[in-house]
Amino acid sequence: MPSNPVLPGFHPDPSICRVGETFYLTTSSFEYVPGLPLYRSENLVDWEPIGHALTRESQLDTRDARTSGGIFAPTIREHDGTFYLTSTNTSGGGHFVVTAEDPAGEWSDPVSVDAPGIDPDLFFEGDTCYFTYFTTDDDRRIEQAEIDPGTGELGEQYTVWTGHEDPHAEAPHLYERAGSYYLVVAEGGTHTGHSVMVGRSDDPTGPFDPHPQNPILTHRDDFYRDVHAAGHADFVTDADGNWWLVCLGIRPRGGFPGWHHLGRETFLAPVSWDEGWPVVESGAIPPEIDADTLPGDPARADADPDPVEHTDTDFSEGRSHEFLYRRTPDRDRYAFTDDGLVLRGGPETLDETGTTFLARRQTNFDCRIRADLVFDPDPGEEAGLALVMDEQHHYEVGVVGGGDGDTGGGAEGGSTALVRVTVGDATDVLARESVGERATLGVDATAENYEFRVDGEVVAEARSKYLSTEVAGGFTGVTVGPYAVADGGPADATPARVERFVYEPAE
């Protein structure tokens, strides 16, 4: 049977809509570029990456975004043949709306919405559109206003929810069913107290009466579950009228209370109805989903593994959708050629913003990652394979030029592969190995450990715990990919060529 999460790895704050028999889903992207990843599915469990909504600098520039800044929780909706996506750029610009006729195509430049807070939602009813959001000032609440989504102009703003158990209510979404209106919010924070609350009203503007069984979904009362922090839900119906929700959750490792390093992931749960109220069985995310209950082809839903978890590329067809830049890149540093990905490093190391670094999400606890590198560096130059949580928490296996002394250089005129770990203010080089102009750099991951390989040999290992949210903080997860550094800047840098990059779940 298909298992949860349906989108593993760094896929937080999911939002979903359906057109015909096709579902579309997006998640937060924070400082990563392109922003707002988009996925398509016919059955709610097999998700095909189709692109991003924010691909141009006129839409998004995160050069100055703080760690876990940038683009927060989105909402995606379709109305009269147009797709609408609203979100918040917390590093500049605030709320915005972008539109597209085809979600896999180009999206518009953002239309700004002048309202406080985060987590905006759009709800269409006839010719009226409602904009609902969470304010983040001292008087925290859920507010709402009518909006012209084409201009971002708001009508009168008013409060619709001040919290059922917790005034820190966020992630509002509004729905209609059988003449009643439902406000779904998250309460209890975004970690172990996370929960899904529901209110009901006869009018989309409220007042909303709380569900008698709130919260309808939470894992806060059982810390020994495999999934914690369940919440931030968005509802959708399938073509047969069945209701579902997607939400975020985390999968801690290392025993209670544990740590999580893959990030906040996207989970799926069926929703039923009882006396006009939504119900999630057992109030929890199911570990597995019965394929026979899913829309689309049940046989496809049983297929394993999910292709979104695999990458095997020589980069000859350019940057595929699963690859990201950490903040807005200097694109002149990246060349996708028939001979591989050519990187030209700048002076920024992985300790700094602006690093030359192309990565994909780590989506499996147990996985195998390889990069075939062709690189003949001068002193002060480096390239390799990095695992990054943020600028203070990252591991890398890289090749450095000769004569770099304590930073890892080998004999004069030679190159050295090194394994370096950075945790907070501490940095340590765990291994050094002489290499030639060609080297295969690798990482073998388990839930609790990373093994680093150079030309097939294990040379060092490090704990995954120190790349976790519990250590590093933040809202993202580990990303992995090739990087390059050059003291003299990209114009004079020796090119580092990645002939092949492989990411695959371990058997």
Closest CA to 79 of 134, 149, 147, 172: 149
Phi and psi dihedrals of 232, rounded to 5? 55, 65
Contact present, 141 and 169 (Cβ < 8 Å): yes
Residue 13 annotated to the active site: yes
**Active site residue: 119, 121, 143, 170, which one?**
170
- Cα distance between the two ends of the chain: 18
Residue 170 annotated to the active site: yes
Q: Which amino acid is at 224?
A: Y
Contact present, 291 and 2 (Cβ < 8 Å): yes
88-93 long-range Cβ contacts below 8 angstroms, 24+ apart: 88/117, 88/118, 88/119, 88/120, 89/60, 90/65, 90/118, 91/31, 91/62, 91/64, 91/65, 91/66, 92/61, 92/64
> To which H or E segment does residue 433 belong?
strand 426-435
Task: Look up residue 104 and give its two tokens.
Answer: 């896999």
Task: Look up residue 17 and give its two tokens.
Answer: 């809509």
Contact present, 36 and 26 (Cβ < 8 Å): yes
- Helical residues (DSSP H) of 170-223, grouped into ranges: none
407-435 burial code (b ≥16 CB/10 A, e <16)? bbbbeeeebbbbbbbbbeeeeeeebbbeb
- What's the Cα-to-Cα distance from 475 to each of 71, 185, 191, 507, rounded to whole Å? 11, 19, 10, 29
Closest CA to 475 of 18, 99, 170: 170
The shares of helix, strand and coil residues in the chain, as percent rounded to the nearest 5, are 5, 50, 45
**Active site residue: 13, 46, 121, 143, which one?**
13
- Output the 3-class SS for 112-151: ECCCCCEEEEEEEECCEEEEEEECCCCCCCEEEEEEECCC
Which residues lie below 8 Å from residue 98, measured CB to CB, with a gap of 6+?
53, 54, 59, 84, 85, 86, 107, 108, 109, 110, 111
Q: Please tell me the number of Cα atoms within 13 Å of 442 on its side-chain side.
A: 18
Task: Look up residue 332 and give its two tokens.
Answer: 């002149």
Q: Which residues are catalytic?
A: 13, 170
